[in-house]
Amino acid sequence: MDMHKLTRELAAKNDSKIVMLVADGLGGLPQEPGGKTELETAQTPNLDRLAAKGIQGQSIPVKPGIAPGSGPGHLGLFGYDPLQYQIGRGALEATGIGFQMQPGDVAIRCNFCTLDADGNISDRRAGRIPTEESAPIAISLREISIPGIEIFVEPVKEHRFVVVFRGEGLGGNVKDTDPQATGVPPLDPVADDSASEKTAEVAKEFLRQAREILKDQPKANFHTMRGFAARPDMPTYEEVYGLKAAAIAVYPMYKGLASLVGMEIVGEAATLEDQMTVLKENWDKYDFFFIHFKYTDSTGEDGNFADKVKRTEELDACLPAIEALGPEVLIVTGDHSTPAYLKSHSWHSVPTLLVSDCCRPDPHTSFSETTSITGGLSQFEAKYLMLLALSNAGRMGKYGA
């Protein structure tokens, strides 16, 4: 059964505030046998104090044993079953650069390539042309015009850019034009279903004009299109939870993911301190706040245990600023684990702490991978976290009489 059917039915309104602080890649591993994890090594007096008032447990991002990317990791925390809602490659790329896709948009990952005199591909990545050269070339494609279609062209990095088509009747299922080989010409865009035929036609016309614009570029005299994807059709936070939600993030990817579920992206922040300022400034305007902290993940990805410990302590230090605002529900969690030991996202379940005045505190007075094993929330799939948040906030009535 779709949990959103239930949350819609049972939604109750009140003035409560819910804060979900997501420390990306929060969970970790000991660096050596018998050692402590990053979170256990860090000095976290605020988390420990909150642990004494709260209930903790371990969130399973998707299913036991599955390491998620940022997309499914966050969708789970937002209460959207990550096995049901999938974000296509193009949509993820657009989202990752902060492009806010609208329903009906189709996003496409594009690669500049080099064609030889016969029109065959001689380099599928245009010699990995540097970003400072490629970005103006991508921007030059903005002059392409197709009647009835709004077109967005956004540079990414090196040979990569994103194209988004906006218009009526555009399906997202079109085959890649990259033949995955050199010495052959790029393929034509071909629709995989009848709903995507118009998209294939639009892409063909885009490519025709692009070939004209790019013909005198020595390296990047054409481009391929891959990963056509419609915006995933996801109901909004407002619609499924009755929550006016704000996202306070530094990195474009997380703003993009939040916008896919209808959160508003508020403020400009470069640091966690900035994010706390944005939170305070917007406190009266929203019911729900998603705060994203990147560096517990990036230091884990770097395999830098000591830096991940430091970043965890930085996270801990921001908590009093959140508490001072008096949220009815405060959640600290991660979208997945990123142990420095593995230098990558992992499948390990994620320590998760929930504090509210009716959370049924468990006996723990610190917060870690080890304590959360025996926390009152036990292990649970991340997709249920929003149900707990809503109930603890008094925002969900009972099911059935």
Q: Contact between 97 and a copy of itself (CB under 8 A)?
A: no
Q: Is 293:315 a contact under the CB 8 Å cutoff?
A: yes
Q: Judged by CB, which is closer to a copy of itself: 219, or 364? A: 364
Cα-only R_g, the chain: 23
Listed ranges 41-49, 108-116, 122-130, 375-383: which one lies at the site for a copy of itself (CB under 8 A): 375-383
Interface with a copy of itself (CB under 8 A), residue from 272, 361, 367, 368 = 361
Describe the crossing of helices 197-214 and 131-140 by its angle, rounded to 10 degrees.
Answer: 120
Q: Judged by CB, which is closer to a copy of itself: 7, or 221? A: 7
Q: Is 342:29 a contact under the CB 8 Å cutoff?
A: yes
Per-residue contact flags (x/-) with a copy of itself for residues 380 to 399, judged by CB under 8 A: x---xxxxxxxx----xxxx
Interface with a copy of itself (CB under 8 A), residue from 4, 8, 89, 128 = 89
Q: Contact between 139 and a copy of itself (CB under 8 A)?
A: no
Interface with a copy of itself (CB under 8 A), residue from 53, 124, 175, 244 = 53
Q: How far is the CB of 399 from a copy of itself (least distance, A)?
A: 5
Q: Judged by CB, which is closer to a copy of itself: 190, or 387? A: 387
**Which residue carries 């077109």 as its tokens?**
151
Q: Contact between 312 and a copy of itself (CB under 8 A)?
A: no
**Which residue carries 């090594």 as its tokens?**
41
**Which pairs count as long-range contacts for 354-358, CB under 8 Å and 24+ apart, including other chains?**
354/54, 354/55, 354/56, 354/329, 354/330, 354/388, 354/389, 354/392, 355/50, 355/53, 355/54, 355/55, 355/329, 355/330, 355/331, 356/54, 356/328, 356/329, 356/330, 356/392, 356/393, 357/328, 358/392
Q: Is 175:203 a contact under the CB 8 Å cutoff?
A: no
Q: Judged by CB, which is closer to a copy of itself: 117, or 401? A: 401
Interface with a copy of itself (CB under 8 A), residue from 224, 346, 352, 368 = 346
Q: How far is the CB of 204 from a copy of itself (least distance, A)?
A: 27
3 state SS of 152: strand
Q: In the structure encoding, which two tokens stand for residue 96, read together?
A: 């990752």
Q: How far is CA 165 from CA 102, 237, 256, in A?
A: 10, 25, 17
Among 2, 15, 1, 73, residue whose Cα is nearest residue 242: 15
**Which residue carries 């917007």 as its tokens?**
282
Q: Contact between 400 and a copy of itself (CB under 8 A)?
A: yes
Q: Contact between 256 and a copy of itself (CB under 8 A)?
A: no
Q: Contact between 12 and a copy of itself (CB under 8 A)?
A: no
Q: Contact between 58 and a copy of itself (CB under 8 A)?
A: yes
Q: Contact between 19 and a copy of itself (CB under 8 A)?
A: no
Listed ranges 86-94, 147-155, 236-244, 290-298: which one lies at the site for a copy of itself (CB under 8 A): 86-94
The one-character DSSP state at 337 is B
Interface with a copy of itself (CB under 8 A), residue from 82, 189, 242, 300 = 82
Interface with a copy of itself (CB under 8 A), residue from 167, 267, 347, 366 = 347
Count of chain residues binding a copy of itself (CB under 8 A): 66
Q: Judged by CB, which is closer to a copy of itself: 181, or 401? A: 401
Listed ranges 97-105, 259-267, 317-325, 372-380: which one lies at the site for a copy of itself (CB under 8 A): 372-380
d(Cα 102, Cα 170) in Å, to the nearest integer? 12
**Which residue carries 């995955």 as its tokens?**
180
d(Cα 305, Cα 25) in Å, to the nearest integer? 12
Q: How far is the CB of 92 from a copy of itself (least distance, A)?
A: 5
Interface with a copy of itself (CB under 8 A), residue from 46, 70, 196, 221 = 70
Q: Contact between 8 and a copy of itself (CB under 8 A)?
A: no
| DSSP H or E segment with residue 140 | helix 131-140
Q: Contact between 251 and a copy of itself (CB under 8 A)?
A: no
Q: Is 19:329 a contact under the CB 8 Å cutoff?
A: yes
Interface positions with a copy of itself (CB under 8 A): 1, 3, 6, 10, 29-30, 33, 37, 53, 58, 62-73, 82-84, 86-87, 89, 92, 339, 341-342, 344-348, 358, 360-363, 369-370, 373-380, 384-391, 396-401
